[in-house]
């Protein structure tokens, strides 16, 4: 009996020790080459700010431009086209509403481009959430692959784990569970969609993603906060930047690194862009370097600075502390947040934004919530103006641990410019429009969504620190 207990003790100890060791290994393991990029500053970039807004003006109004920009970039591609989008599907609960057919429309546009120009090299990169982690083969991707496009469902295993308490166990014992395309479990995103298998759900709980949103041809690129290829995201408010110049090569190199995670090599590009001196400097920042850049912008803000933030999720504790410190130094800080109440027909509990907003208001920071009505304020940017100079950072990354701590794959653009430049004044006009509710209802006072529940504050902190969350 004693020997049996001893053996069981050794077995249990070993079963616990293995995930612990695996978790440590993946915590200290170097990142794959080409990931977490702090690019070079380029002085030849031409950048144009583009945005979508949904608001109320005697009825719900939608002004959408990002979809049109994506279609234009697809149509104008001559040699190369790369689309890297986190969500690329038509999955949602149709009993709760309907959305424009963005996934099909973009697919048809790409297929038309290939048909018109068979020499066009098309690469579609997306997250494995779109094929239910191997349980389904969506028709759009089959059509694209049959037409000759390179379709990549990103292999995220080489990156650190955003949910380490679970992922260390998954890596040790569960990752070999077979993923079947004859699953019997309900689809987590669409009750009428393809069934999922046990193996796909075991992968899903890792909560890690290729969260990028990039469209690129040999002439220009669009870096955005919008999942333009997702039906359910089509009504959201978002921001984006159409950019050209030498930075295109940095963006493409970064996409080559993502493809390499899945052992796929992307060909070189015959670039055909204009390179002329500009009144700004621009660089690519990805993954953890987004946080580094964001904190540097906030740390450099002085009592004479104006800081404007608009973001879907704001939860990272270093960022929260930096925003509060910036306000304490005397900078004027205005923050627009999504109320975190809507997600494709599902009602959410307001975590984390309402809890962070309460912290900000307690520290003298002005906060407004976007007045959403089923859709989301999905933008992700920070703008800092000090004297004659301005800085801008925006793209796919929410300001959360998962998005800016080398866990997700993310792409942002950083810009330095004169405060009088067209881009700076356009950003300020955009922000003023939604902050002041110019010619419509965009935002509401903090008190409308104020939530001081202690348990929610505690739960937010636990989720953000452990990764046991989807934000």
Domain boundaries, the chain: 46-261, 281-466
CA 401 to chain centre: 12
Write the burial class of residue 9 (CB in 10 Å: 0-12 exposed, 13-18 middle, 19+ buried). Answer: exposed
pLDDT, position 310: 98
Burial class (CB in 10 A: 0-12, 13-18, 19+), 261: buried
Average pLDDT of the chain, as a whole number: 94
Supply the pTM of this predicted model.
0.95
In the chain, how long is the greatest CA-to-CA distance?
81
Angle, CA 373 vertex, CA 368 and CA 379 arms, to 5°: 55
CA-atom Rg of the chain in angstroms = 22
Over 70: is that where the pLDDT of 370 sits? Answer: yes
| 3-class DSSP state of 151 | strand
- Alpha-carbon gap, residue 114 to 239, rounded angstroms: 28
Contacts of 471 (CB under 8 A, 6+ apart): 313, 315, 351, 352, 398, 400, 402, 463, 464
What is the structure's pLDDT at 180? Answer: 86
Q: Check whether 128 has a pLDDT greater than 70.
A: yes
Contact status, residue 212 vs residue 116, Cβ threshold 8 Å: no
pLDDT digits (tens, 9 = 90+) for 176-204: 999 988 888 988 888 888 889 999 999 99
Q: Is the pLDDT of residue 345 over 70?
A: no
User: Would the pLDDT of 344 be above 80?
Assistant: no
Residue 413 has pLDDT above 90, yes or no: yes
Q: Which of 62-66, 95-99, 125-129, 315-319 has the lowest mean pLDDT?
A: 95-99
CATH number of 281-466: 3.30.870.10
With cut-offs at 50, 70 and 90, classify the pLDDT of residue 342.
confident
Range 419-426 contact pairs with CB under 8 angstroms and sequence separation of 24 or more: 419/385, 419/387, 419/388, 419/389, 419/390, 420/388, 421/279, 421/280, 421/390, 423/47, 423/48, 423/49, 423/280, 423/392, 424/383, 424/385, 424/390, 424/392, 426/49
Which of the 8 DSSP states describes residue 290? H
Interval 13-31 mean pLDDT: 86
Query: Is the fold of 46-261 the same as that of 281-466?
Result: yes
Give the pLDDT score at 447. 97
CATH of region 46-261, choose from 3.30.390.10, 3.30.870.10, 3.40.50.10320, 1.10.1040.10 = 3.30.870.10
pLDDT digits (tens, 9 = 90+) for 277-313: 999 999 999 999 999 999 999 999 999 999 999 999 9
Res. 1 pLDDT band, cuts 50 70 90: low
User: Which pLDDT score is estimated for 176?
Assistant: 92
| Percent with pLDDT over 70 in the chain | 100
Burial label for 438, CB within 10 Å (0-12, 13-18, 19+), is exposed
Weakest mean pLDDT among 120-124, 190-194, 463-467? 190-194
pLDDT at 58 over 70: yes
């Amino acid at each position: 009996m004693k020997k049996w207990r001893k053996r069981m003790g050794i077995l249990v100890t070993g079963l616990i020790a293995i995930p612990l060791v695996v978790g440590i290994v993946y915590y200290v393991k170097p990142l794959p080459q080409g990931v977490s990029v702090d690019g070079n500053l380029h002085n030849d970039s031409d950048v144009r700010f583009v945005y979508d807004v949904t608001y109320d003006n005697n009825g719900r109004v939608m002004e959408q431009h990002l979809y049109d920009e994506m279609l234009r970039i697809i149509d104008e591609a001559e040699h190369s086209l790369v689309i890297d989008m986190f969500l690329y599907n038509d999955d949602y609960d149709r009993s709760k509403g309907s959305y424009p057919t963005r996934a099909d429309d973009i697919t048809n546009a790409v297929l038309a481009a290939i048909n018109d120009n068979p020499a066009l090299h098309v690469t579609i990169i997306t997250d494995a959430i779109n094929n239910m982690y191997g349980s389904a083969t969506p028709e759009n991707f089959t059509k694209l692959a049959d037409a000759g496009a390179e379709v990549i469902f990103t292999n995220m295993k080489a990156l650190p784990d955003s949910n380490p308490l679970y992922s260390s166990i998954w890596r040790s014992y569960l990752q070999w569970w077979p993923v079947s395309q004859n699953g019997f479990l309900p689809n987590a995103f669409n009750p009428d969609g393809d069934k999922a298998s046990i193996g796909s759900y075991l992968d899903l709980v890792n909560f890690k993603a290729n969260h990028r949103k990039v469209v690129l041809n040999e002439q220009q690129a669009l870096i955005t906060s919008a999942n333009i290829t997702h039906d359910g995201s089509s009504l959201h408010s978002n921001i984006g930047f159409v950019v050209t110049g030498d930075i295109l090569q940095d963006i493409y190199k970064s996409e080559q690194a993502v493809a390499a995670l899945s052992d796929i090599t992307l060909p070189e590009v015959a670039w055909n862009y204009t390179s002329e001196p500009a009144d700004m400097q621009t660089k690519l920042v990805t993954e953890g370097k987004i946080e580094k850049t964001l904190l540097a912008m906030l740390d450099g803000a002085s009592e004479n600075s104006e800081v404007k933030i608009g973001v879907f999720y704001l939860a990272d504790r270093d960022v929260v502390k930096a925003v509060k410190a910036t306000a304490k130094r005397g900078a004027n800080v205005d923050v627009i947040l999504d109320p975190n109440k809507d997600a494709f027909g599902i009602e959410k509990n307001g975590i984390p934004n309402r809890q962070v907003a309460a912290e900000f208001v307690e520290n003298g920071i002005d906060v407004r919530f976007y007045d959403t009505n089923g859709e989301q304020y999905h933008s992700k940017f920070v703008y800092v103006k000090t004297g004659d100079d301005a800085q801008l950072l925006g793209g796919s990354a929410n300001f959360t641990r998962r998005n800016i701590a080398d866990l997700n794959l993310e792409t942002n653009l950083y810009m330095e410019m004169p405060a009088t430049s067209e881009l700076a004044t356009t950003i300020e006009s955009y922000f003023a429009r939604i902050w002041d509710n110019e010619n419509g209802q965009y935002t509401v006072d903090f008190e409308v969504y104020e939530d001081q529940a202690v348990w929610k504050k505690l739960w937010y902190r636990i989720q953000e620190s452990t990764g046991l969350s989807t934000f």
